[in-house]
Chains A and B, each alone.
Chain A
Amino acid sequence: MAKFTRSGEKETPAISTASLPDIIFMLLFFFMVSTTMKDSDPVVTVRPVSAKEVTQLERKELVTNISIGKPIEKFQKVFGKEDRVELNGSIRNIQDIPSFIANQRAEIAEAEQNKMIVSLKIDKKSKMGIVTAVKQELRKASALKISYSALPKYE
């Protein structure tokens, strides 16, 4: 009878992990390209809206962000549960917007100051009262180019 048992125990060859770093690097580059740096932790909650006719915001250096929403939980004791305006990572009054805009505008190169875009990130359950008040302040500060931040919606 033929014997099938092997005489010497052969070790299984080690799986080469040399290409693993390449795979991880690929992932790394993907994330580096497709994400942006967090500027600061948000202090108001913004649930984004979605719309069909959205355009990509290019030239990040020209964009100024204003968020409107309810303060996050740990600030609710101080600022209440009503919608508030966030400028530059802190909750401020609507009246502070013109000076905020002036400061932001000064950071942009002089030739491109009129190209400044204000991106409004507004919680979808906010009321238009505060939104309109903010828009009026922006008009006073003559920051007329605005973008209602919205996620693209596909059908």
Chain B
Amino acid sequence: MARRKAPELNAGSMADIAFLLLIFFLVTTTMDTQTGIFRKLPPMEKVDNPPKIEKRNLLSVLVNKQDQIQMNGEEVRISEITQKAREFIENKTNSEDRPEKKMTQIEGYGEAEVSKGVVSLQNDRGTTYEVYIAVQDALATAFEQIREDKAREVYKKSYNQLVQDKEEEKVEVIKKMVPMSISEAEPKNIK
């Protein structure tokens, strides 16, 4: 039997169609990266008796309108915040003017020392948003680093690895051991 060759399909214009679609998508969409720093705002209701925080447990971070940063009365640069905040919260030397540690029962782990340190962030109306975010980020990095160390100490595993592997109970334990306590005060006009 004589076999006839099927006629070749002209696919040349297919590329044009695909290009048209491609350009349509390029124009109508954005490479909008939806990433951000998550925070929870305090509710509006006034607390009658706000818990008193002892002076040794409080790290006050002030940012003025010239974008200068002060931590517990000492002027610092943005690059130093992480290190300073970490030293303060961890209080490895158990010094008297650093936050005290409280034995706390943690579900799924047992008793552990939890630092009572609180970071209070206060900014001026004239502070630049960029600097504010840089400070927020530096403080968050400090807590993240402490969590990282704790996770390695307790589970012999990196904290990020625990998060990635979805070991939620262990992540929760670490979060309770190192609570991210950053409180934001309402703005005042800091000189």
Contact = CB atoms under 8 A, between A and B. Distances in A.
B123 to A, nearest CB: 5
B94 interface: no
Given A17-B11, A24-B18, A152-B35, 17 more contacts: A21-B18, A24-B19, A28-B21, A28-B25, A32-B29, A34-B31, A37-B30, A53-B137, A60-B34, A127-B125, A127-B126, A127-B127, A128-B132, A129-B126, A143-B41, A144-B42, A151-B33
Contacts of A149: 34-36
B22 A139 contact: no
B128 A31 contact: no
A37 B39 CA distance: 26
Contacts of B129: 49, 122-128, 131
Contact of A147 (B15, B38, B123, B124): B38
15 contacts: A28-B25, A31-B22, A36-B32, A52-B140, A52-B141, A55-B37, A55-B38, A124-B130, A125-B129, A125-B130, A126-B128, A128-B126, A128-B128, A138-B41, A146-B40
How would you classify the secondary structure of chain A's contact residues: helix, strand, loop or mixed? mixed
A17 B11 CA distance: 7
B44 interface: yes
A47 to B, nearest CB: 9
A19 B11 CA distance: 9
B140 A53 contact: yes
Given A119-B36, A127-B126, A144-B41, A49 B29 contact: no
Interface in A102-139: 117, 119-120, 122-129, 131-132, 135, 138-139
Contact-size category for B: 35 or more
Interface of B is mostly: mixed
Interface of B: 11-12, 14-15, 17-19, 21-22, 25-26, 28-44, 123-130, 132-134, 136-137, 140-141, 144, 186-187
Contacts of B12: 17
Contacts of A52: 137, 140-141
Nearest to A119: B36
Contact of B134 (A51, A119, A142, A144): A51
Given A124-B130, A128-B123, A128-B132, A21 B11 contact: yes
A38 interface: yes
A63 B126 CA distance: 28
Contact of A49 (B17, B126, B130): B130
